[in-house]
Chain A
Amino acid sequence: MESRFFSAAQLHQIGTRSRDWLLALQQRADPAAHGSIKYTLQILMGLWICEQGLLNDTELSTTRAYAHHLDQCILEGDNVTIDLLSSDPALVLFSLGILHFFAIYKSPLELFAAHISKLLQEHSDQNEIEANELFLTRFLLQQLYLHAPLRSYSLYAISARDLLNANEVAIRDIVKNIAAATRYGQTMPTMKTEETDILASLLPVLTLDYFRLYNLEIGMQILRAMRYLHLYEHRGWETWLQFLIAQQQPDGRFGFFAHELARLHLSEETEQDFRVYLPHTVSFLWTITEVARSQFILVQSFN
């Protein structure tokens, strides 16, 4: 599978390395025993992206086996329900979509999704920020047939000055707004030429700035937002993607975070893997896959 920015060999290497690391991680330590079901579901999501997105593996054998393992051993009992309530709803809903793909239906997750669905159907968003914040959850619910069709979201009109000076909180909001307004790249909102020019000119600046600061997560979120806006013409793409690939360790983990781990006082290897490397690896896989495959939209890939 060749793509605009990657060779088939590169994509294969990224996918196999990551899959091996995710498998080794769940075999080495029971994710559910480390405080939350979140890690279990993040591994499921990571395996899914590797096989469905990067390796184009129609059998999805590893993900399938892991999903059945979850079905039989983990996703049962009162603890799971309690755990779900404190988890990221979007992660739970996305995992539910993957389980449905394998015809696995687990009561705690189904009930959780129904509960979230009911809450959101009755909820009126207080403002645009909240609407953007909840868009992904609503979008996933709709993919699971648990939400009415979504209204259209408009793209913020941001001045060049404000965008250039945006802090991390503001940038997180902006990329969520772009995802909502474009439905993850499926529609292009009406924009004035000037607004398009501002985003095309300044999103690359923000990407570069965060990569230079080694804040890879924000940098990748901005890259995905650029992809949703179809801003592919920028000369930076190739550099950034090569930079990102260079951040994958030989064992498949993404990032070189010894500096951050020391500051977090995380000395235990499994804790480091679950709390730092796992979310970054999943985000890396998400970014690489959506950039490599222009038709791939992760959050509806289970349908």
Chain B
Amino acid sequence: MPFQMQQLGLYYKRAFSWIDQHRDLFNPLQNEREENTANLYQTKALGELGLLCLLYQRYSVGDRESEIERSLQLIHTIWQHADYHERIVRRPEYFQLHTMIYVVLQQCAVIDDTYKAVIQQVLDQNYVIATETTPMRLLDRRHMLDCGTFHHSLPSYQELYKQTLLAHEPPAVYLTDTDVYAITHTLFYITDFGRSTTSVIAGDHLLAVHWLIEILLGVYLRRRNWDLVGELLLDCYCLHWYPDIIFTVAWECLLEAQFPNGSIPGPRFSVEQLAQMQDSQQVRYCFEQNYHTTIVNAITSFLIYQDLNGNTSENLKR
């Protein structure tokens, strides 16, 4: 492989560093006056930060890296606010966003499972499970509930997968960005982020999935959409399959796209727009535009680095 593993290691460490330096901006409680939508937006960002910690934890032996440790401390501090964790009970329409925080902390052994019974009571009322959403989001829901070992009545992964866009092997020529996000996320959940092999993606269907991921990776590399490039590479990790040529080019490009501060520009980030802002606005703008892409690529580079170095995730079976 032409790129150096060392570079991949530095790449994720720089991304971790940017996330660490901006961790206060992930805090949905930092400004109580903010409107509900901003608060939810940051809760989503916090959930993604939590996902990074959760997936990191799967490879962790011994002490966690300091950036991850501090992120978990932040998440824990927020969780400790009663008005935050009670949202699971009081605002079940946002159940998944908030329960994710519990799952992360519990899985990373930061909290015990005392609050699990409360969450289970919410689930048992049959609202959360019954709400309508897309097949990919149902997979997401099931995946999170399984990670938290909750009891639920959702259909099996196989049943849910059959309804997804990816299962239908859609013609790539018509796929929108939203469709591609649906595809990348379907693979995250159906494989438990690469931890389990799944019988529903096998044989000729597996070849079709490989083909789709590879060609979409090429298209989004051409578009310099580092967000979807990162997600599609994460799919490669989930399938433990790395297409020779495009995989190497993708990493060469991603290494170049990373800013010196460790962040990776999101699809709507604009240097021109940034230049027109005051300093105080710039930090916020960069965070809002780039945090997701940076987290995605931090996760992807970390996991691939571990995989290619022969490190195995603990508990390989779901």
CB distance from A66 to the nearest CB of B (A): 34
A236 and B244 form a contact (CB under 8 A): no
B 169-204 binary contact with A (CB < 8 Å = 1; else 0): 001110000000000000000000000000000000
Q: Does A211 contact B (CB under 8 A)?
A: yes
CB neighbours (8 Å) of A197 from chain B are 244-245
Q: Does B218 contact A (CB under 8 A)?
A: yes
Chain B positions 203-236 with a Cβ under 8 Å from a chain A Cβ: 207-208, 211, 214-215, 218-219, 221-223
Smallest CB gap from B217: residue in A: A205
Q: A197-B245, A205-B215, A208-B215 are in contact. Are A236 and B172 (CB under 8 A)?
A: yes
CB distance from B310 to the nearest CB of A (A): 25
Q: A197-B244, A201-B243 are in contact. Are A164 and B173 (CB under 8 A)?
A: no
A236 and B211 form a contact (CB under 8 A): yes
- Stretch of B89-97, B106-114, B246-254, B280-288 with 4 or more beta carbons under 8 angstroms from chain A: B246-254
B172 and A208 form a contact (CB under 8 A): yes
From the candidates B171, B173, B207, B222, name the one contacting A205 in the complex (CB within 8 A): B222
B173 and A204 form a contact (CB under 8 A): no
A212 and B171 alpha carbons, distance in the complex (Å): 11
CB neighbours (8 Å) of B215 from chain A are 204-205, 208, 236
Chain B positions 50-90 with a Cβ under 8 Å from a chain A Cβ: none
Smallest CB gap from B218: residue in A: A205
CB neighbours (8 Å) of A164 from chain B are 218, 221-222, 246, 249
A209 and B171 form a contact (CB under 8 A): no
Q: Does A190 contact B (CB under 8 A)?
A: no
B222 and A209 form a contact (CB under 8 A): yes
A212 and B218 form a contact (CB under 8 A): no
A212 and B173 form a contact (CB under 8 A): yes
CB neighbours (8 Å) of B221 from chain A are 164
A208 and B216 alpha carbons, distance in the complex (Å): 9
CB neighbours (8 Å) of B214 from chain A are 201
CB neighbours (8 Å) of B246 from chain A are 160, 164, 201-202, 205
A235 and B245 form a contact (CB under 8 A): no
CB neighbours (8 Å) of A206 from chain B are 222
Chain A positions 188-206 with a Cβ under 8 Å from a chain B Cβ: 197-198, 201-202, 204-206
A205 and B219 form a contact (CB under 8 A): yes
CB neighbours (8 Å) of A243 from chain B are 171, 173
Q: A205-B218, A208-B215 are in contact. Are A239 and B244 (CB under 8 A)?
A: no
A197 and B249 alpha carbons, distance in the complex (Å): 13
B252 and A161 form a contact (CB under 8 A): yes
CB distance from A209 to the nearest CB of B (A): 5
B219 and A212 form a contact (CB under 8 A): yes
A243 and B170 alpha carbons, distance in the complex (Å): 12
A19 and B164 alpha carbons, distance in the complex (Å): 41
From the candidates B207, B222, B245, name the one contacting A201 in the complex (CB within 8 A): B245
Interface centre among B173, B207, B222 (most CB of A within 10 A): B173
CB distance from A266 to the nearest CB of B (A): 26
B244 and A201 form a contact (CB under 8 A): yes
Q: Does A242 contact B (CB under 8 A)?
A: yes
CB neighbours (8 Å) of B223 from chain A are 209
15 interchain pairs, CB-CB under 8 A: A160-B246, A161-B253, A201-B214, A201-B246, A202-B218, A204-B215, A204-B218, A205-B218, A205-B222, A209-B219, A212-B173, A235-B207, A235-B211, A239-B171, A239-B172
Partner-A contacts on B (CB < 8 A): 171-173, 207-208, 211, 214-215, 218-219, 221-223, 243-246, 248-249, 252-253
Not counting A160-B246, A209-B219, a sample of 5 additional A-B residue pairs whose C-beta atoms are within 8 angstroms of each other reads A160-B249, A201-B218, A235-B207, A240-B173, A243-B173
Partner-B contacts on A (CB < 8 A): 160-161, 164-165, 197-198, 201-202, 204-206, 208-209, 211-212, 234-236, 239-240, 242-243
